[in-house]
Amino acid sequence: MTVSDAAGPVRTDWRAALKEAAVAAGVALLLALPLVAGTWAQWPVLFIAGASGYGIYTCALAILGDRYTGHQLIAGSSSFATMWGSGALSGSLIAGGAMQVLGPHGLPLSLAVCFFIFLIGMWLRRAQQQA
């Protein structure tokens, strides 16, 4: 899909845009979770927040598969899995520390901060690629 702006045509990747939307939805829903905790609304919020997290993973793997082939794809997939596992390990420690400091709301707040940092990273990368 091509979008025209004042600087000329800019190519947008729909998968990257979908990943960005999933991260933004995750941030918003995780920040909303402490507000709806204990009500019926917590279940749809948790369901959609979880779906956005898995959507990020799926879109990232699809983008990886589009960009690389052969040995590079194998190396990229291995690196992806290693970083995902490292994030699962360190994320548990960060979330546990946040829960000790902030109580049960520390989990969704720490996840929202991680998602927000990821979102900023995506914006910076996009700005760097367009420059």
Work out the average pLDDT over 37-42: 93
Q: Does 36 have pLDDT greater than 50? A: yes
Phi, psi of 59 (to 5 degrees): -65, -40
Give residue limits of the domains in the chain: 14-130
Whether 74 and 67 have beta carbons less than 8 Å apart is answered as: no
pLDDT of residue 18: 85
Does an H or E element contain 85, and which? Answer: helix 70-102
Q: Does 10 have pLDDT greater than 60? A: no
Parallel, antiparallel or unpaired: strands 8-11 and 2-5: antiparallel
pLDDT of residue 12: 57
Please give the share of the chain, as a percent, with pLDDT higher than 90: 54
Helix (H, G, I), strand (E, B) or coil at 88: helix
